Amino acid sequence: MRIAIYPGSFDPVTLGHLDIIQRSAKMVDLLIIGVLNNKSKSPIFTVPERVNLLKEVTKDIPNISIEAYEGLLVDFAQERKASIIIRGLRAITDFEYELQLAQTNRKLNPVVDTVFLTTNVNYAYLSSSIVREIASYGGDISQFVPNTILQSVYDKIKSIRSV
Number of residues that bind a second copy (CB under 8 A): 46
Interface with a second copy includes 100 (CB under 8 A)? yes
Query: Is the Cβ of residue 4 or residue 149 nearer to a second copy in the bound state?
Result: 4
Closest CA to 55 of 71, 33, 77, 24: 33
Q: Could you give phi then psi for residue 135, rounded to 5 degrees?
A: -65, -35
Query: Is the Cβ of residue 49 or residue 98 nearer to a second copy in the bound state?
Result: 98
Query: Is the Cβ of residue 46 or residue 97 nearer to a second copy in the bound state?
Result: 97
Shortest distance, position 96 Cβ to a second copy, whole Å: 5
Question: What DSSP line would sit under 10-78, residue for residue?
Answer: -TT--HHHHHHHHHHHTTSSEEEEEEE--TTS--SS-HHHHHHHHHHHTTT-TTEEEEEE-S-HHHHHH
Interface with a second copy includes 137 (CB under 8 A)? yes
* Neighbouring-strand partners of residue 32: 5, 65
Residue 98 gets which letter from DSSP? H
Q: Binding residue for a second copy (CB under 8 A) from 1, 42, 93, 151?
A: 93
CA angle 128, 129, 132 (to 5 degrees): 90
128 is catalytic: yes
Please report, as ranges, the residues that interact with a second copy according to CB under 8 A: 2, 23, 26-27, 71-72, 74-75, 83-84, 89, 91-93, 95-100, 102-104, 106-108, 113-118, 120-122, 124-127, 130, 134, 137, 139-140, 143-144
